[in-house]
Amino acid sequence: MVGVGAKPVTHRSAEAQARMQLPAAVARALRATGHRTAKGPVFDTAIIAGVMAAKRTAGIIPFCHPLPIEHCTIDIRAVSRNQLRIRCRVETHHKTGVEMEALTGASIAALTIYDMCKALSHEIRISELRLLRKSGGRRDVGRRGAGRSR
């Protein structure tokens, strides 16, 4: 692990995003059922999974520091009839950032949606997993407020 002992504790935040392309029939089926499948409420389950994953990132990615996550939100929105946008925002006060936690939260939320919808189609695509912004460390990335989840 990288040594962070000499770094100051600051407010750290990061936001990451994944996109999902759904086949038209899957998107229609989800809209018709209020985003439910035989496994249950798709978006609610994905939100819980994403938050749980963000909190456990250090146990998944070998050299990540375990961090006390103070705030985590997952926002899932339809950006077109067949495309979803999943955003994860994470905050803490610590010596190292939460980019990996935000990326992990967004990716696991997307994977959860895939898992809950795969009985409808295996043609679902997850794409564009990326960091939108981070702040509080030596370098800020992205615009302040850009892509902020509500």
Residues 6+ apart with CB under 8 A from 144: 133, 135
What was the pLDDT predicted at 144?
A: 56
Residues 6+ apart with CB under 8 A from 59: 66
The average pLDDT across 56-80 equals 95
Catalytic residue among 44, 75, 115, 140: 115
| Rounded CA separation 51/105 (Å) | 6
Contact 43, 74 (CB under 8 A): no
Q: Which residues pair with 84 in a beta bridge?
A: 20, 78
pLDDT band at 147 (very low <50, low <70, confident <90, very high): very low
| Rounded CA separation 81/49 (Å) | 24
pLDDT > 70: percent of the chain: 95
Mark whether 115 is an active-site residue. yes
Amino acid at 57: T
pLDDT band at 137 (very low <50, low <70, confident <90, very high): confident
**Number of alpha carbons in the 13 Å side-chain half-sphere of residue 117:** 32
| Rounded CA separation 90/118 (Å) | 28
CATH tag, 10-135: 3.30.70.640
The whole-model pTM stands at 0.90
What was the pLDDT predicted at 150?
A: 35
Residues in the chain: 150
